[in-house]
A and B are shown apart, each in its own frame.
Chain A
């Protein structure tokens, strides 16, 4: 839980770097102004970029502890693998962060850095959930989902469209693409997420583990649409002539990134809870002859 919370803080710190156009205020990596340990003068863009690096180092350290602890203490093999995957993701993320500095913020690398950040956040949230008391100790109430597409399929579709939206948003933010694909896909995302969350609440609202993340998805989605609209107004419509990033632009875009991360993670949690509590009913067709044999 600690790693997940600090990762969200790290995502906010990273969003502050991009929003303040401070990504290259420290021109070198992995050193900062030629030094591994010396603290630079934290003014201007340096406070955002070096601050982001410091929080990232702390998250890296926490992830090492988490991976080692999971490896040594966990009995579930897949959890041990997940711990190692978290460590691998955080290392990949660090390398992507370095590459984007070295190559002067190319849109594909910067966007990959943004996408892997949220992937890592989702992994950290999942680890927190999988090690939680209710997940480990309580037997889940199970109800089969008869409808097609199944709720689980819808949750997977939601994760997919959110990922596409994340990449489109990151590409726009890093000047690799126009704004309109992100805005057009927002309509698709809103439709799929509403469909998924409403199905979860209306059909399986009596299962708290499904209802809570589904309501979270609806709330976060509404907030995210509002923040996206504000970010569009402040940055695209009103901010074209701005001499520098202004507070409304920075606040709206950073909040949009943070709520976007929470929305993705909540959707992943919903997918896992649906998989656990509301598995899709599988129709097994048995040939007539075989049936008579079986009976």
Chain B
């Protein structure tokens, strides 16, 4: 090969490395800066609290509760958390960690981005909560309460991917997600059992079922809504619910494996 070709090859490789470095910087910037976009934010449509309705209910699990899957935390002596996976958590036939949200029916309504941040805490080498909901562009604070280093690595389909390490006692990491995405996986590559899901929605009507499988969506304007129930393993189910002013409707559902 002629000398000029070697120089070209070297420059190409150098260019690739520089491109990679630039890409990393860009992704960090997007993740840390609120994505205001080029369009001005639409003004929030007010909801009259006097007419606000609510939808609540219980998510059940059909059949015998699956056997809990054990976790082996022995590869890091600093990890002393509960040693069972949280993929399918059933208590007395009620299913925990189901994300419930208004998928459709709000039309063109716009909503303010909440001023308060949603929080993820890493404690006992697990994520708390295991399933989280937040609005588009809402701040997300990630804390590390463990005496070991974690890395937080969301693997989104519709948002920018990032991966940052967080040593013990480090300042909280602040991020946000610019686009709607349901069941966005977050993992720690240092502790491969650490997995959680972030749900990014455009409206404030969402909830995650508690240990009794219960949820509540409050402050809804009267209307007909598609309510989606999403589980990380068992997928999505929907129900159509109509609420009049001040209604308190119940919408129960059940999942089976």
Interface of chain B residues 72 through 98 with chain A (CB within 8 A): 72, 75-78, 85, 87
Residues of A within 8 A of B20 (CB): 98-99, 102-103
**Is B70 a contact of A41 with CB atoms below 8 Å?**
no
**Is A244 a contact of B192 with CB atoms below 8 Å?**
yes
Within 8 Å of chain B (Cβ to Cβ): is A24?
yes
Distance of A241 Cα from B71 Cα, bound (Å): 12
Residues of A within 8 A of B87 (CB): 241, 243
Distance of A26 Cα from B188 Cα, bound (Å): 10
Q: How many of chain B's residues touch chain A, expressed as a range?
A: 20 to 34
**Is B17 a contact of A98 with CB atoms below 8 Å?**
yes
Interface of chain A residues 178 through 197 with chain B (CB within 8 A): none
Shortest beta-carbon distance, B138 to chain A, in Å? 23
**Contacts known (A43-B77, A102-B20, A102-B21); A243 close to B163, Cβ less than 8 A:** no
Closest residue on chain B to residue A27 by CB atoms: B163
Interface 1/0 per residue, B118-160 and A, CB below 8 Å: 0000000000000000000000000000001101010100000
**Is B190 a contact of A45 with CB atoms below 8 Å?**
yes
Closest residue on chain A to residue B187 by CB atoms: A21
Residues of B within 8 A of A150 (CB): none
- Chain A CB within 10 Å, residue with most, of B23, B165, B187: B165
Residues of A within 8 A of B23 (CB): 102-103
Within 8 Å of chain B (Cβ to Cβ): is A171?
no
A243 contact from B13, B69, B148, B153, Cβ within 8 A: B69
Within 8 Å of chain A (Cβ to Cβ): is B109?
no
Residues of A within 8 A of B191 (CB): 44-45
**Is A43 a contact of B78 with CB atoms below 8 Å?**
yes
Which chain A residues have a beta carbon within 8 Å of chain B's beta carbons? Answer: 20-27, 33, 40-41, 43-47, 49, 92, 95, 98-99, 102-104, 241-246
Contacts A41-B149, A103-B23 known; 11 new A-B pairs at CB < 8 A: A27-B151, A27-B153, A43-B76, A43-B190, A45-B190, A49-B189, A98-B17, A99-B16, A99-B17, A102-B21, A244-B192
Which chain B residues have a beta carbon within 8 Å of chain A's beta carbons? Answer: 13, 16-17, 20-21, 23-24, 69-72, 75-78, 85, 87, 148-149, 151, 153, 155, 161, 163-165, 187, 189-193, 195
